[in-house]
Amino acid sequence: MAKKKSAPVTELSKIIPAPTIPQPITETIEKNYMPYVMSVIVSRAIPEIDGLKPSHRKLLYTMYKMGLLTGNRTKSANIVGQTMKLNPHGDAAIYETMVRLTRGHAALLYPLVDSKGSFGKHYSSDMKYAASRYTEAKLDSFCQELFSGIDKDAVDFVDNYDNTMKEPVLLPTTFPNILITPNTGIAVGMASNICSFNLAEICDGTIALLKNPKTSTDKLLDIIKAPDFSNGGLIIYDREQMRRIYETGQGSFRIRARYTYDKANNCIEILQIPYYTSIEAILDSIAALVKDGKIKEIVDFRDEIDLNGFKLTLDLRRGTDPDKLMNRLFKLTSLEDNCKCNFNVLIDSVPRQLGVVDILKEWIIFRTECVRRELRFDLKKKQDRLHLVTGLGKILLDIDKAVRIIRHAESDDVVVPELMKGFGIDEVQAEYIANIKLRNLNKKYIINCIEEMEALKKAIAEYEEILGDELKLRAKIAAQLTEIKKKYAEPRRSQLIFASDIPEEEEETTVENYPVRLVLTKEGYFKKITFQSLRGNDEQKLKEGDSILQLFDAENKDNLLIFTDKAQVYRVPVDDFDTTKASAMGDFLNAKLGMDKDERPIFMHVQNTYPEGENMVFVFANGKGVRVPITAYEVKGNRRKLTGAFSKTAPIVGAFYEVEKHPLELMLLSDADRAIVIKSSLIPVMTTRSSGGVTLMSLGRKETCVTEALTDFAARYGDGKGYRKNKIPAMGVLLNEKNIDAMQLRMDDTL
């Protein structure tokens, strides 16, 4: 039997790899990263001047082409499938986009999609929408104002992703939809959060700007009072805050729930909540407050959402003041929330942050061009028709001659040239006349042609007059806005209240205040000692091998920030700790605060307020350091634990509190017996807590880490004169013999 030939073996060692060409990071960013960034900004996340993102526009235009503006509803799955011809990002993303635009979802003040079926609710994370095969939809009649003029060359069209059909670049909205439809988007390096406004107020404000482009912000504030949300709520109105938003496009305002008190059933009925929260978040926070005993006035609470709309009911104990209870809930839950505005809009594919005033001005520019293009389209149609009718008029002067020319023509091909020659008309006019039926050449037809000619001339004159006069063009836009307001305007849903009208509830002070001495040890033991107790004995008892990390005086009403080596910070009132004696061990913080296993405190500070210009300074074992503003640790409510207090990229070797007016002097010591002394003001302030900071001490080849950072180094190492540095990063200076001995003694003490 013949042996089979074995296949040739490829020797991998003989394969020569292709040479790699190094690519500079700047080139990588420019060629690879920047196109992605611009795609997200321009084609995904940021709305344009028509108030729509590309995903919204593709969906709505598909529904328009399907005849769903005037036709009956169709299955949502059908709409999703058709939209994929313009938007290839998957059916789930398209359907989620449509859900938010529907009347049933109730996210928009003026819904764009008329829906049938379950589309969930934007104020509930548990109420999910049904699958697309079960629901139906069509365009709401309100969308007539989005597509008005789209078939009259009002906007540009471009090819879709596979060049098989055309889609509009923008929709020619007849009103400033950018301020009517709320939009939130997160791009790369920027975000957009545009809240909705009342249609009637926006129309009036735009008309005022059309009439007088120099209309002041104060005047617009009188017309467009504030944002307006689909689920109402009470906006706590601050005119200066609103002015900032209207002028810059950035700022925030507070909005709270609206409620009524049912005296007969002794319950509070919450009927409207802030737009950016959910009923589940509110119920969870109320449940936590009741469980912790911080709210004792509530007997029961439940979600009573039904076909009539939103309702959250709180059953109260007898004798409870409902207004006082709600004021506490406003402070402790998201029943009162901050609405942040960040009006980033694409103008000619360029992202710009604009205030309300500038957005309206940009929309007027956009809309003026749309109307101008529509008028040119209609003018061209009228001119073409007049051209035909004018030629017909010449024929009607001698119909017999025209009939004679046609009758004596040898073939169809010579009819048009003979008519052109006989009456002095062009080919288009002659072609039109040749196709007129003989029975139409009667007296009435002739009279109608003459009348049509006059009407066409009048219409053309009007179009040319409007196109040549900017004021008349603006007046036409204003007339359209007036008609839209008359047709679709609704009363404000979000009512305005003033901060001065809200009674300030004085919190009952139950905490006794007195001076105390606080002690924190390296092993994590904490003592709160009264001064009366210290009179007898101030010698601190410590666990064997333990030492005092911090010791300072405070008051019982103070609040503490306690930082740990696991990059966490705990907010604890001093009153939470029982007083003890100096001779006691104290509270073990790991157990007292419920810390993670092996977590230990490294720094504590009294923090009752969070002023600007005060920072936390962190130094890490890799020689880096960072300053974080103390405002970064301010949180709303009674949140006790904050994760990500500082960077975890390297172990922490020092934490300090600094007031910028009085910078600290820090000594950094390395494991190679080197040191530097720098001022904390040299360290940059980073706004994010997780920043890894900048290099403070350059470590040599034999150095592996910074072992400690100190502010009270004078007793051990002298005044630090030889180690001071004025720039960072700085190389460490070798400790002198005396200082090395001091460092050795310190290390022996900690072992």
The answer to whether the CB of 322 falls within 8 A of the CB of 269 is no
For helices 322-332 and 279-291, angle between their N-to-C axes, nearest 10 degrees: 110
| Cα separation values, 553 from 1, 162, 516, 559, Å | 100, 73, 6, 13
Same domain, 329 and 378: no
CA 66, CA 138: separation in Å to the nearest integer?
A: 9
CATH number for the domain harbouring residue 300 = 3.30.1360.40
Which residue stretches of the chain have pLDDT < 70? Answer: 1-19, 504-511, 536, 637-638, 737-751
Partner residues linked to 353 by β-bridges: 344
At position 75, the amino acid (one-letter code) is K
Please report whether residue 205 resides in a domain.
no
In a domain, 1, yes or no: no
* Kind and range of the H or E run holding 348: none
Q: Which CATH number does the domain housing residue 437 bear?
A: 1.10.268.10
| pLDDT of 1 | 46
**CATH code where residue 580 lies:** 2.120.10.90
Q: Is residue 588 located within the same domain as residue 454? A: no
Residue 395 lies in a domain: yes
* DSSP class of 142: G
What integer pLDDT is reported at residue 505 of this predicted model? 61
Q: Give me the DSSP letters along 560-586.
A: EEEEETTSEEEEEEGGGSPP--TTS--
pLDDT of res. 509: 47
Domain-embedded: residue 36: no
C-alpha pair distances (Å), 634 with each of 42, 251, 489, 602, 625: 35, 18, 42, 20, 21
Q: Would you mind telling me the total number of residues written for the chain in this entry?
A: 751
Q: For residue range 162-183, what is the model confidence (pLDDT) as tens digits? A: 999 999 999 999 999 999 999 9
Contact 205, 217 (CB under 8 A): no
- Is 514 catalytic? The answer is no
DSSP letter (8 states) at residue 33: I
In-domain check, residue 22: no
For 180-193, give the secondary structure using H, E and C.
CCCEEEECCCCEEE
Which residues make Cβ contacts (< 8 Å) with residue 683, sequence separation at least 6?
617, 625, 626, 627, 693, 694, 696, 728
Question: Are residues 294 and 370 part of one domain?
Answer: no
The pair of structure tokens assigned to 83 is: 């939209």
204, 182, 178: which is closest to 195 by C-alpha? 182
SS3 content of the chain, % helix, strand, coil (to 5): 40, 25, 40
The answer to whether residues 708 and 572 belong to one domain is yes
Which residue in the list 33, 36, 134, 514 is annotated as catalytic?
134
| Residue 136, domain CATH | 3.90.199.10
Residue 380: exposure state from Cβ atoms within 10 A (0-12, 13-18, ≥19): middle
**How large is the angle between the packed helices 91-101 and 54-65, nearest 10 degrees?**
80
Looking at 119, 153, 172, which one is the last position of a domain?
A: 172
Q: What pLDDT is stored for residue 539 in this prediction? A: 80
Helices 356-396 & 443-467 angle (0-180, nearest 10): 150
Whether 294 maps to a domain, the answer reads: yes
**Which whole-number Å values give the CA distances from 491 to 209, 218, 435, 468, in the listed order?**
22, 22, 56, 38
- Hey, which bits of 172-233 come out as E strands? 183-186, 191-194
666 with 543, same domain: the answer is yes
Q: Which domain holds residue 427?
A: 365-488
CB 270 within 8 A of CB 312: yes
What are residue 662's phi and psi, to 5 degrees? -130, 75
Name residue 604's amino acid. M
Final residue in a domain of this structure, among 141, 172, 203: 172
Last residue of a domain, one of 172, 192, 217: 172
Distance CA 57, CA 191 (A): 19
Same domain, 672 and 552: yes
Q: Would 558 be classed as within a structural domain? A: yes
The pLDDT, as a whole number, for residue 541 is 85
643 and 738, same domain (yes or no): yes
Answer yes or no: do 724 and 615 share one domain. Answer: yes
What does DSSP say about strands 136-139 and 157-159: parallel, antiparallel, or unpaired? Answer: unpaired
Same domain assignment for residues 573 and 713: yes
**Count of domains in the chain?**
4
Give yes or no: residues 529 and 483 share one domain.
no
Model confidence pLDDT, tens digit, residues 522-558: 999 999 988 888 776 778 888 888 888 889 999 988 9
Rounded to whole angstroms, how far apart are CA atoms 496 and 503? Answer: 15
**What is the token pair recorded at 667?**
């000594």
Q: Are residues 664 and 607 in the same domain?
A: yes
Nearby residues of 205 by Cβ (< 8 Å), 6 or more positions away: 220, 223, 224, 356, 360
Take residue 649 and report the two structure tokens written for it. 């990229």
Q: Are residues 384 and 304 in the same domain?
A: no
CA–CA separation, 173 vs 147, rounded Å? 7
Residue 159 lies in a domain: yes
The reported pTM is: 0.66
Of 470, 279, 444, 292, give the one whose Cα is nearest residue 368: 470
Residue 579's pLDDT is: 87
Element spanning 335, H or E: none
Output the pLDDT for position 687: 82
